Structure 1
Amino acid sequence: MATITQRAQSLLKSLPKSNKFRFVYFGDSWFDWGRTRAEAITRYQIFLGALETAARQKPKPLFILLGGDVVFTGAEQHYQYLTQKLNQFMNTYKIPVFIAPGNHERTGTNGSLDLYRKYISARLNYRVDAPRLRVIMLNDIGPGTAISGNYTNYYGFEQSGAALATFKTNLNSTPANSKVVVVMHVPPRTGTWTRTNGSTFTLTKDDGFPIGTPKNRDFLNTLRQNRNKVQKVLVGHVHDYATSKIDGIPYILEGQGGAVIGQNSIVLFEVNNGIVSSPKRIPITRSTQTPTKVFVNQSTLPNP
């Protein structure tokens, strides 16, 4: 069975290419999950609405990037239903979808990422190559195996396996005439973040990974040393929309893909010869589709 990423990479290769294109980013959807049936249906419609809103843009995006927490429970039926809907979307609109792992992709709060590997991507860290732009998708939520204790203690690159090495390899092998975008779930716990209304905030322990540990410092130093190459860092995890500039690199936090029901949005970027534009935030128009099943708390229920 091909993973979502394999299908997306194959689709991307088949599409016509230009040095000028667009892409969309969003995160934190909790697809089709809720504490009630109504919440689950709403999140289903927000998630599909986000994809449909992206597909309606003119010209349409070359690809869509998701910053993790697409599912909530990490249960196999949840992954299966997500895979079915994403494959339908890619078949219909011919827009590839790529997903970085989030903490909710674990099968259970402290479970493994085995089902992420089975359904979304066999590699927890991988790259997406487009004309003069390389997107590096990173796992910064901890090891792919089951973990113990507070899962927030694993955020960052200290215990995320090959993430840091893969990041450096893909960064160093980026062609000289290309730029880079980095996608990961958890932001670093530094900088000041600014919302669209001008209010600001800083990240708490659970919201970001610490910047003082050796591998996390190495990651941020590598970004800083390559700030002329790295165009944007795209993160989620915090259910808000905000921007920051850390070591001269623009960060965009978009965690309003459905986990929080309300001001849901996607972010559109223009790319011209590798140069990535400032973000354009677009409100999500909810889909009119209804699910055939919903995930309510820990149960899978038919709908209606």
Structure 2
Amino acid sequence: MMKTYDVVVIGAGPGGLTAALYASRANLSVMILDRGIYGGQMNNTAEIENYPGFDSILGPDLSEKMYNSSTRFGADFGYGTVESVEDNGDVKVVHTDDGDYEAKVVIIATGSQYKKIGVPGEEELSGRGVSYCAVCDGAFFKDQDVAVIGGGDSAVEEGVYLTQMAKSVTIIHRRDQLRAQKVLQNRAFKNDKIKFVWNADVKEITSENDKVSGVKYVDKETGEEHVVPAKGAFIYVGIQPMTEPFKNLGILDADGWIDTNENMETKVSGIYAIGDVRKKSLRQIALAVGEGGIAGQEAFNYIQTLGDKVSAK
């Protein structure tokens, strides 16, 4: 049987959990769907130091606190991979690999993920030296040589972070200059532990004994092949929104991001988007929480304009 709710929130990161809190507190029936554990990328963060109310808190601990808060007014939580969302006017149908859900409001909070470079060794050595999170894995490389692939804000910022524990950090970039903000560039250039490799086309993450041993690249100017010795390879070449299931709705831009107005409304009435799926410059927990609060309240306002709710708690 199809399960019916007033609101289905797709994604249980900080934005999705906050949206569920606001919607359920307004006496709407809410289902939070996620393909994994609640908390999203917060679970991959060792310490969070920029969320109001806490000098420092472990990512999993903040996830647990947010989940408990978001479900205390009756919101349900369920596992499932969303395959598509069907817009039937006043009613939406969320299709998952474990059944379908009907609702008048859908809030998309599926987040984004790190892009892969697609070279040999990247997938095979994931968790064995290949990482996309310096905060998560940097401590494993104390007093060792590591490489950072990329030249944007994240690559440079995480490269500087890694110098706190690594012996050396080599930033490998495919261009002849960094794309990061000047303040971050200056910080990196002044750090004696950081070296740079320019105009590099990465070809492979090399290994020894099933662990990362280096990064093989071709110099785009000379055509020569080189290997940067490294025990860890941290990859930061951009992020992409997790919006594949929503292509049929006509709410994505050319790059897959979702545009909304200030009320988090998409082009489709009754469908909202919050957090890292939105096209914006800053992606932070505090910002996702604010957007979640707006979407949760707007869900209530929207349903009131439709008259009787889909279901009553």
- Higher strand fraction (1 or 2): 2
TM-score w.r.t. the length of structure 2 is 0.26
Look at both structures and tell me which one has the larger radius of gyration over its CA atoms.
2
TM-score w.r.t. the length of structure 1 is 0.27
